[in-house]
Structure 1
Amino acid sequence: MTDPTAPASGPRPLRSRVVRRLAAVGAALTALGVLAAPAVLPSGSSAAALDFPYVNEFSSASGGTLHGDAAVSDGRLRLTDDVRNQAGAWSTNDTFPSDTGLEIEFTYAMYTAKDDPGADGLLLYLADGAAPQGVGSYGAGLGYACRSTVTEGGGRPCDLPGVPGGFAAVAIDHYGNFSSRINDSGPGAQADHVVVRGSGDGTEGYRYVAGVAAPGGTVTDGAAPRKVRVTLLPEADGGLAVTVRIQAGGALRTVLDSVPLHGDGQAPLPSTLRLGFAAATGSHVDKHEVDALQVRKPADLSVEHDLPATVAAGDPVRYDVTARNPGPNASDPSPLRVDVPDGIEDVTWTCTAAAGSACATATGSGDVATDLSLPRDGSAVVTIDGRVAAGTEGSLESVATIATPASLSDTNETDNVSRASTTATAPVAVAHVETDKSVSPSTVAPADEVEYLVTARNRGPAVAEHVGAVDDLPEAMGFAGSDDGCTAEGQRVTCRSDTSLDVGETRAFRIRAVLDPGYRGDGSDVVNVATATSPTDPDGGDPSTGVAIVVDPGDEGPAPSPAPTTGPAPDDGDGSGDGGSGDGNGPAAGADDGRAGAPAADHGATAPVGALAYTGAEGVGLAAALAALAAAVGSVCWWLARRRARRDAPTDDPQQP
């Protein structure tokens, strides 16, 4: 049992509390340090992301690392000299995300001045961005693949390693051994071929993927460069596909198109890739050089538009230009330009972007110049309005172009330019008819007949043929007939003729109509408009002004109805109505006009009908709300008072405070 006289324990000493708080702070900082460690410690790969566009003229080896026999010579990357059994490589220090794709363009030279048939070849390769950099085997391996020491013809297991973490290589193989059965994969030696091999590491892998004869061979005319473009595009299944174009006859020719880099024996696509070049010699030799490297992310922009087949001088013209991005990467900014034909004047344009896309300039005049922001599958439409200048004849051509920013390269440039043409002709002479209209008489009574006179006039310059008119009668008017070939269908009256009008001539049509006998208005709503017609006026005739009538109801018009009574007149407070007195117990008998007096209130008080019931209901609701509030406040006060009383009451329990 606790001694009831023992003093209660006091607060902990200040020092104890400080120590405990410092310990808590230390624990929290330790936890934060553990959580932050992954962000602070360096990652497994120290490579940075490759910036696009990446351009290297190889005035030095900066931006990459040389391996094996590679060197920079005379402003070029020389992967091998024309010396036997060499292997050289160069690879970027930075890496790039594998899901963006790449477009890689470079020039190469493969030559020797020696009396030698030349060998072996050079290649572009991709390697896992997390793997160490290095070079593969000489001879058949072209500095990328592995090979057997005893033979370059393949058919035996590799004992000389290839590039670490190799993912794929595109080779320009002069001697042909890159197609041999390296690790039992390949069709056999094929000279002067463009060849693709897949992933490998050390002495494993490097499978053969595809090959095709190189147009015009592989060697160059001495040191004269030859252009190559390799495009890597992401596929829907998460892989990559490679397209190879090589210069032949002055133009780039596609030799391998969308070859998938996946299949049996192919490593999964790593998250980052590294770009490199490699080459090798064996028993025979060539110099292998690379220059003018440009690396960009791939895009595929397109633009299209059209014009009407023909336009007439003086007429307005409108056409649309549509830009799209079906490619693998967003394109921003994408300069869009439209050269509007000189024969179109007063040109204005508006740019409207689809969701997610944007127009840097939304409106303008003259030729179109705006930058577009186009995400994947984004688009924008520019609408151009103008007028064909007077006297313009012949062909008019509009030219629209779309371009990528410097960081991207369009993989299909054939649809980056759109040309649209139209033929401008002299304006065709047409008629221009206008309409006059009158009514007689203009003041009528219900059931009276009126006559509308509709006159068509030709303003020219051409003859107005088969002149007619249309007139929509108001609902209050009914068609009664016409002596000028006009007929009615419902409220629409149509007048026809074989009349042709020269400029300035007129043709009149008379229409009879009757005002509804039951009409009770003043005529302000009995207004109608007529329009002259002619098939040689392609725009339709100019309508008349609205013609109204005035309705005079006459002496027999109906008398106005008395205003309705809204309720009994107020009394004077003593219970008496207008014509009688009340006794406070019910309605009083009328004394003056036969109407019952208003109900008398008790004690002679008066109030509007229903006011007593309304006021009473309002008072009851307010009283109920106040009562509920008072009850709630009382309950709270009672509970607080009881709680205080219990706390202040003496207790026998020594533990009770």
Structure 2
Amino acid sequence: MMKQFYKTFCAALLFSSGMVFSQFTITNSLRTNDATGLKIGDNATLTAATGVDPNGNGWLRLTNSSSSQKGYMYVQQSFPTTLGVLADFEYVSWRSSKDANYFGADGLTLFLFDGNITDANFKLGGYGGSLGYATYSNPANTTGLSGGYIGVGFDEYGNYARAAENRNGGTKDYVPNAIVLRGPTSTTYTASNPYLTHTALGDRSGGDNAIRARDEIDYNTVVTSRPSPTAFYRRVQVYVTKSGSDYLINVKWRKQGETTFTDILTYTMNGTTYPLPATLKLGFAAATGGGYNFHEIRNMLLTTPGNIRVDSRSNSASLCNDIKENPITFTIEVSNDTPANLSNINFSNQIQDAAGNLLDITKFKITSLSTTGFTSSTLPTSNFTSNDITGTLGLASKTSGIITITGNYYKKSIPTNQSFKSVSTINSSEIFDTDTTNNTATTVVYARKCSIITNPSLPSYSK
């Protein structure tokens, strides 16, 4: 099989008006048993490597649904910050047994840290309420994450925002179901990982336990298997962008049943006090205590904001190769992060074999195409005579549109255990696109024997 699950396109140089811009796109679906380029530690595992999920349908599991767990993963590849950073991922937090009166704990963090930190000198912050990022009191004087710049906490229990357990600044009381931002690690222990801001989510009526029991950061129905995306779904985007001499941190998310992202946290980092390192790395951590959850991540994307980009997923990572017709849906998201309303974004999509050849309609046939969120579209919506789709799209400033392509894969069109793919490409002459590494998205689907498929209907993602 071709390794399509981890790609890095980094350090491309673009010269314009005497300026040098760094471009990058790093993706990893975290669905496979391939840990290339990842540092995984403590209780964290790839579920496709442990046999919990089939290869191609896995998750990065940071903790199990049991007490006193901790786990982390970071991407070993550093990336430039000249154009800012966009981190995009999906997560699910759930449990398979009742955890007394805790209602799930503790939570997870996305952290960005100095790209000069190596495996040899990497050290996590405290667990428990510090969520692997901030300082902590157990053991005493636990330092913050090595080279930490920001730690975005998805706090189920409510400790990460608190000025307690040797954390630097914050609230007096618990803040369950909150997104919390803490700042850089300092060599001065008492100045490390300062509390910056938080957003308390959802219905805040009742006491802390009433808030914890609501489905905001985590899923609070005890289930024997991972909840479906229609029951609980969270896709998160974290932006770091230049704002004058400062840096704007913006966190958005999309929940089940939603087609657009909601802004949930915005904070301006003082660029003099907290200068952005020239390069960063990204990681995730999670912790449990008396309360617990499975904390799982997938479909990770790192790229630059402020331009146009395309993202692609499907509703199936693999299809049965001995069924006459296999319906599959590709969901392609085009984003316009620029301040301009665009009316002429060129779009193309092809369904290809693994070698990049267009699949004949006797092997795969597109049956429908629909669009939402665009101001205009010339894409065909019926009478598909090939698997090559082209057209133009209009998209308002700072918005995204979705193209949904459904088709049928026909029995044994490709050999078992081989793949085909959806390849989408965008460009526009209306703007100067500072990063073209995120203008193509590829989603790979495998043909499997039915007998080895246990859950073929989970979303697929690759670039």
TM-score, normalization by structure 2: 0.53
Deviations 1:284-319 (A, max 9, x none): 2222111122223223459xxxxxxxxxxxxxxxxx
Whole-angstrom distance in 2 between the partners of 1:84 and 1:246: 28
Residue 66 (structure 1) aligns with: 40
Of 385, 389, 405, which residue of structure 1 is paired with 2:439?
A: 405
Whole-angstrom distance in 2 between the partners of 1:162 and 1:371: 42
SS at match of 2:141: coil
Counterpart contact for 2:10–2:25, Cα < 8 Å: no
Deviations 1:33-54 (A, max 9, x none): xxxxxxxxxxxxxx97594152
Residue 212 (structure 2) aligns with: none
Residue 250 in 1 paired to residue 257 in 2? yes
Query: Where in structure 2 are the equivalents of 1:76-475 lying within 5 Å?
Result: 76-116=59-99, 117=102, 118-132=104-118, 133-149=122-138, 159-181=141-163, 182-188=166-172, 189-201=174-186, 203=189, 204-215=191-202, 216-220=215-219, 222=223, 223-224=226-227, 226-251=233-258, 252-262=260-270, 267-300=274-307, 327=338, 335=346, 339=378, 371-373=427-429, 376=432, 405-406=439-440
Shift in CA distance, 370/61, structure 1 to aligned 2, threshold 3 Å: closer
Counterpart contact for 1:240–1:262, Cα < 8 Å: yes
**Which amino acid in 2 is paired with 1:89?**
Y
**Which amino acid in 1 is paired with 2:170?**
G
Give the number of the structure whose alpha-carbon radius of gyration is greater. Answer: 1
Shift in CA distance, 93/219, structure 1 to aligned 2, threshold 3 Å: same
Q: Which has the higher helix share?
A: 1
Counterpart contact for 2:24–2:80, Cα < 8 Å: no
Whole-angstrom distance in 1 between the partners of 2:115 and 2:285: 17
**Identical-pair percentage:** 27
- Structure 2: state its 5+ residue gaps: 1-8, 12-22, 48-52, 203-214, 310-334, 348-375, 381-424, 443-463
Shift in CA distance, 160/86, structure 1 to aligned 2, threshold 3 Å: farther
User: Which one scores higher on RCO, CA 8 angstroms, separation ≥ 6?
Assistant: 2
Shift in CA distance, 340/141, structure 1 to aligned 2, threshold 3 Å: closer
Whole-angstrom distance in 2 between the partners of 1:372 and 1:255: 27
Deviations 1:4-50 (A, max 9, x none): xxxxxxxxxxxxxxxxxxxxxxxxxxxxxxxxxxxxxxxxxxx9759
Shift in CA distance, 190/326, structure 1 to aligned 2, threshold 3 Å: closer
Whole-angstrom distance in 2 between the partners of 1:325 and 1:292: 20
**Which amino acid in 1 is paired with 2:158?**
G
Whole-angstrom distance in 2 between the partners of 1:108 and 1:93: 20
TM-score, normalization by structure 1: 0.38
Of 20, 23, 29, which residue of structure 2 is paired with 1:56?
A: 29
SS at match of 2:129: helix
Residue 313 (structure 2) aligns with: none
Shift of 1:260: 1.5
Residue 409 (structure 2) aligns with: none
CA RMSD of aligned residues (A): 3.7
Shift in CA distance, 169/328, structure 1 to aligned 2, threshold 3 Å: farther
Q: Which has the higher strand share?
A: 2
Residue 353 (structure 1) aligns with: none
Counterpart contact for 1:297–1:407, Cα < 8 Å: no
Counterpart contact for 1:55–1:292, Cα < 8 Å: yes
Shift in CA distance, 97/217, structure 1 to aligned 2, threshold 3 Å: same
SS at match of 2:91: strand
Counterpart contact for 1:197–1:210, Cα < 8 Å: yes
Residue 453 (structure 2) aligns with: none
- Structure 1: state its 5+ residue gaps: 1-46, 151-157, 303-323, 342-368, 379-403, 409-657
Question: Which runs of 4 or more aligned residues in structure 1 lie more than 6 Å from their structure 2 counterparts after TM superposition?
Answer: none
Shift of 1:253: 4.5
Shift in CA distance, 293/101, structure 1 to aligned 2, threshold 3 Å: same
Whole-angstrom distance in 1 between the partners of 2:168 and 2:151: 17
Deviations 1:434-485 (A, max 9, x none): xxxxxxxxxxxxxxxxxxxxxxxxxxxxxxxxxxxxxxxxxxxxxxxxxxxx
Shift of 1:187: 1.0
Shift in CA distance, 407/267, structure 1 to aligned 2, threshold 3 Å: farther
Whole-angstrom distance in 2 between the partners of 1:62 and 1:140: 30
Shift in CA distance, 377/51, structure 1 to aligned 2, threshold 3 Å: closer
Size of the aligned set, in residue pairs, is 279
SS at match of 1:145: coil
Shift of 1:201: 4.4
